């Protein structure tokens, strides 16, 4: 008997599903531990929690849960429009920025086309590509990061999308913006460049760049950003894309109606006003990063320099160390599925959480 599952397209059956960080509740069940005794540094979440202004706005919005959200996201777009100096028709709102990536794949890719991404890049790029039956072209990394010259050379006539994360996850590698800008000059107009800036808010001020100003020069650029990381709203699922009106129009055609929920819209709007929280998140991350880098160096563990809110640590037998850390109630992220079997990725937490990770790691080395 042939079933519907047997007949699912081969490109769907071949997808390696996204592997999220292990939830605290799951490890608590497995170990019989209290959730409060578990430290999760596995999903690059903000250890400060959500922005207080965003939390209050989301709570207020709960009274209106019987209503559909504003499907056009007028108020949030107005704020983003002012922040980035772009028109409202250059903004698409999304259910987390993963949704921008997925919309880009569904709007621009199809069977017989390809997308280009770097080795050790974000897992959603190949998933989004394969979902629509297109082919992923994987370009070998240089020093764990993107090799832009090789990525340029990998572009084919059938290439429609090229993915860049800066900083990149899971490696934390960062390319100076001038290199990306020079790269954009060389990309042919038939290729949409998706510039994923999920960790942009964690860059030191001197290394930040207002890439939205490039949109007038590069109509084939799509910038994706999120409220999941520095704004602390990962659980609400809200992000956005900035691009040329024609690009955004195409994304809106494949966008699910009401893709950003009502409390998420309210929280995101309020979060944009919470400069104090953003500054606090940045400062905590910088201090925690220094703590982790120093602590790992003390243990003789190599790290890859990171500009994100996470760090790759070369622990050797990462599968074994990960199991040992879990037994000690510490959840980090194994990255063998990213071609990095000797590494664990650890998110920057509160000082006490970072210390707990370093202590547990020392005990299991």
118 binds ligand PLP (CB under 6 A): no
Residue among 345, 330, 355, 359 at smallest CA distance from 39: 330
Task: Count interface residues toward ligand PLP (CB under 6 A).
Answer: 14
In order, the DSSP letters of 27-92 are HHHHHT--GGG-EE-SS---TT-S-HHHHHHHHHHGGGTTSPP-TT-HHHHHHHHHHHT--GGGEE
Q: How far is the CB of 115 from ligand PLP (least distance, A)?
A: 15
Q: How far is the CB of 3 from ligand PLP (least distance, A)?
A: 32
Residues 247, 161: Cα–Cα separation, whole Å: 12
97 binds ligand PLP (CB under 6 A): yes
Q: Which residues contact 104 (CB under 8 A, 6 or more apart)?
A: 128, 161, 192, 194, 222, 224, 241, 251
Q: How far is the CB of 39 from ligand PLP (least distance, A)?
A: 19
228 binds ligand PLP (CB under 6 A): yes
Of the residues 39, 104, 198, 264, which one makes contact with ligand PLP according to CB under 6 A: 198
CB atoms within 10 A of CB 72: 11
Q: How far is the CB of 44 from ligand PLP (least distance, A)?
A: 6
Q: How far is the CB of 79 from ligand PLP (least distance, A)?
A: 17
Q: How far is the CB of 359 from ligand PLP (least distance, A)?
A: 27
Of the residues 45, 102, 196, 274, which one makes contact with ligand PLP according to CB under 6 A: 196
* Closer residue to ligand PLP (CB): 183 or 231: 231
Of the residues 200, 239, 241, 288, which one makes contact with ligand PLP according to CB under 6 A: 239
Six token digits for residue 248 = 């955004």
Of the residues 84, 108, 122, 277, which one makes contact with ligand PLP according to CB under 6 A: 122
Q: How far is the CB of 230 from ligand PLP (least distance, A)?
A: 11
Residues 167, 216: Cα–Cα separation, whole Å: 23
Which range in 10-18, 90-98, 255-263, 276-284 contacts ligand PLP by CB under 6 A? 90-98
C-alpha to C-alpha distances, 127 to 101, 109, 121, 131, 251, nearest whole angstrom: 10, 12, 12, 6, 18
119 binds ligand PLP (CB under 6 A): no
Please list, residue by residue across 109-123, b when 16 or more beta carbons sit within 10 angstroms of its beta carbon and e when fewer do: beeebbbbbbbbbbb
234 binds ligand PLP (CB under 6 A): yes
Beta bridge partners of 345: 312, 333
For the chain, the C-alpha Rg in angstroms (whole number) is: 20
98 binds ligand PLP (CB under 6 A): yes
Residues 161, 115: Cα–Cα separation, whole Å: 5
* Closer residue to ligand PLP (CB): 197 or 274: 197
CB atoms within 10 A of CB 86: 22
Of the residues 44, 51, 130, 159, which one makes contact with ligand PLP according to CB under 6 A: 44
Residues 204, 334: Cα–Cα separation, whole Å: 27
335 binds ligand PLP (CB under 6 A): no
Residues 323, 62: Cα–Cα separation, whole Å: 40
Q: How far is the CB of 154 from ligand PLP (least distance, A)?
A: 20
* Closer residue to ligand PLP (CB): 21 or 245: 21
165 binds ligand PLP (CB under 6 A): yes
Residue 68, Cβ density class (10 Å: 0-12 exposed, 13-18 middle, ≥19 buried):
exposed
Q: How far is the CB of 198 from ligand PLP (least distance, A)?
A: 4
Positions that interact with ligand PLP (CB under 6 A): 44, 96-98, 122, 165, 169, 196, 198, 226, 228-229, 234, 239
């Amino acid at each position: 008997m042939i079933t519907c599952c047997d007949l699912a397209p081969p490109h769907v059956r071949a997808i390696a599903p996204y592997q999220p960080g292990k939830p605290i509740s799951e490890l608590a069940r497995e170990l019989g531990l209290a959730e409060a005794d578990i430290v999760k540094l596995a999903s690059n979440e903000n250890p400060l929690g959500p922005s207080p202004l965003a939390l209050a706005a989301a709570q207020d919005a709960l009274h209106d849960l019987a209503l559909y959200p504003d499907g056009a996201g007028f108020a949030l777009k107005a704020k983003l429009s002012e922040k980035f100096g772009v028109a409202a028709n250059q903004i698409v709102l999304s259910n987390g920025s993963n949704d921008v990536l997925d919309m880009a794949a569904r709007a621009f890719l199809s069977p017989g086309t390809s997308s280009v991404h770097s080795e050790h890049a974000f897992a959603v790029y190949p998933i989004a590509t394969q979902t629509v039956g297109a082919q992923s072209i994987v370009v070998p990394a240089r020093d764990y990061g993107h090799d832009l010259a090789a990525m340029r050379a990998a572009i084919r006539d059938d290439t429609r999308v090229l993915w860049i994360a800066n900083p990149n996850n899971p490696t934390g590698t960062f390319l100076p913006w001038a290199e990306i800008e020079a790269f954009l000059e060389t990309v042919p107009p038939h290729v949409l460049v998706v510039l994923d800036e999920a960790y942009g808010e964690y860059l030191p001020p001197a290394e930040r760049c207002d890439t939205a100003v490039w949109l007038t020069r590069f109509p084939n650029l799509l910038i994706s950003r999120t409220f999941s990381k520095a704004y602390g709203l990962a659980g609400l699922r809200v992000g956005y894309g900035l691009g040329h009106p024609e690009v955004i129009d195409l994304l809106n055609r494949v966008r699910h109606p009401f893709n950003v929920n009502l409390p998420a819209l309210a929280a995101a709007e309020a979060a944009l006003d919470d400069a104090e929280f953003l500054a606090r998140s940045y400062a905590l991350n910088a201090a925690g990063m220094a703590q982790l880098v120093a602590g790992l160096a003390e243990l003789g563990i190599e790290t890859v320099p990171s500009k994100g809110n996470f760090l790759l640590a070369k622990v050797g037998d990462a599968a074994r160390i990960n199991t040992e850390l879990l037994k000690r109630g510490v959840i980090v992220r194994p990255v063998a599925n990213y071609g990095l079997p000797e590494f664990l990725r650890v998110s920057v937490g509160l000082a006490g959480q970072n210390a707990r990770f370093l202590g547990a790691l020392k005990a299991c080395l």
